[in-house]
Amino acid sequence: MNRRPPIRPNVPAPRTWDARLARRLVTPLIDTRITPNHLTTLRLLIGAAGALCLARGGFAFSNAGAFLIVLSNFVDHTDGELARISGKTSRIGHFYDLASDALVTVLLFLGMGVGMGIDMSAAGDHAHGLAIPPALLGAIAGVSVAVIFFLRMRIEEMAGKAGTKQASAGGFETEDVLYLLPLVTLTSGTSLFIIAASIGAPLFAVWVMVDYRRVSRRAQPATQSSQVMG
């Protein structure tokens, strides 16, 4: 009778439901040649495919893209869980994971903006009350997200992972809002989503900038004192 390989000791259980499921799925991979970087690459490819589908516009492609983005968001948990329970952790792998997260999220907003523009052109509704083209709105949200990821990476370097810990409640984290993306495409709410993201993402980026400055100032005295002691 085949038994599931045991989870390595001293590894705390995940807090969120998707991470718990991801750990169950990757546990059989502990002693295989599959590495967390393989799963990160898979997440990146699925996310890029989802963004391309969103950029095609149309009901079918938009919903296919939303499904792929949701799948990519879930797969994003598998690389970290495999790294934790197998000990296959590396600094390069961690930054590869962060870079993939940023790229997929940027491509998501860009793809939705481009697809929204295509849908509006096909419907003959070029203005739709927008002073800014949808693709540019997506770019604004995407660039803001890129800034957020970069600053959070710098904060983590100075304050550790606790400095970038996401808010969570009921087994869900802030980023899990992406699981609701199919509801946006199914209800044709892409335009409202892009407009909200083009406003909310820059505002959140400003908040992260303020947090980054706060952490930087707090880290400077510690760095200076260590240099004096050295």
Number of domains within the chain: 1
Residue 1 counted as domain residue: no
pLDDT digits (tens, 9 = 90+) for 61-77: 999 999 999 999 999 99
Residue 6 counted as domain residue: no
Distances from the Cα of 187 to the Cαs of 66, 111, 130, in angstroms?
12, 18, 20
User: Comparing C-alpha atoms, which of 43, 187, 48 is closest to residue 111?
Assistant: 48
- Taking the C-alpha atoms of residue 139 and residue 110, their distance in angstroms, rounded to an integer, is 5
pLDDT digits (tens, 9 = 90+) for 125-139: 655 556 678 889 999
Residue 91 counted as domain residue: yes
| Structural domain that includes position 123 | 17-217
User: Comparing C-alpha atoms, which of 103, 135, 102 is closest to residue 119?
Assistant: 135
User: Comparing C-alpha atoms, which of 209, 83, 94 is closest to residue 157?
Assistant: 94
- Taking the C-alpha atoms of residue 210 and residue 208, their distance in angstroms, rounded to an integer, is 5
Identify the CATH number of the domain in which residue 80 sits: 1.20.120.1760
β-strands 168-169, 172-173: how paired? antiparallel
Distances from the Cα of 121 to the Cαs of 58, 117, 127, 133, 186, in angstroms?
11, 6, 9, 11, 20
Of 53-67, 141-155, 179-193, which one has max mean pLDDT? Answer: 53-67
Model-level pTM? 0.81
pLDDT digits (tens, 9 = 90+) for 180-222: 899 999 998 888 899 999 999 999 999 989 988 988 888 765 5
Provide the pLDDT confidence category of residue 155 given band limits of 50, 70 and 90: confident
Instruction: Record the tokens describing residue 8, joined without a space.
Output: 């390595």
**More confident call, 101 vs 45:** 45
